[in-house]
Amino acid sequence: MAYDNTKILIVEDDTFVAESMRRVLKGGDVEFLLSNSIAQAEKLLESSVVDMIILDRMLPDGDGVELLKKLRRTPALKKIPILILSGRAETLDQVTGLDLGADDYMTKPFSTLELKARVDALLRRSRKFAAPAVEE
């Protein structure tokens, strides 16, 4: 990952999976916020600006898509890239996540190389569209 000053929120209740993601994605000036529930993620988002969210669906306090829907309705948060990483691997689950506003959806177990590539692509795309136009 070659992005400076990048902050990624990982919303995952399985500590081993969350730490695995953090290890795979670390590098450069990347900061990770770890949350194991929807409620904790909401509190973190009240006090922190993040560049990306990796969101599990099956959390102790509900389905991660409920947080996804709330984020997409919140003007200050609706443009944050969100990648769902879930054990819910049925096509309908994936389509539902994407239809509700996820930018990408991966299933568990996951390839660490693929996760890194998808995160890099989402960050690259979000920064490309956020950058001001350059006049020639």
Summarize pLDDT for 3-21 with one digit per residue, the tens: 678 999 999 999 999 999 9
What does residue 86 show for φ and ψ, rounded to 5 degrees? -140, 155
What pTM was computed for the model? 0.91
CATH number 3.40.50.1970 is the correct assignment for the domain at 6-125: no
Distance CA 52, CA 91 (A): 24
pLDDT on residue 5: 86
Contact of 57 with 38, CB cutoff 8 Å: no
- % the chain with pLDDT above 70: 92
8 Å CB contact between 3 and 93: no
Domain positions in the chain are 6-125
Nearest CA among 91, 92, 97 for reference residue 54: 97
The tens digit of pLDDT for each residue in 72-93 reads 999 999 999 999 999 999 999 9
Task: State pLDDT tens for residues 14-70.
Answer: 999 999 999 999 877 899 999 999 999 999 999 999 999 999 999 999 999 999 999
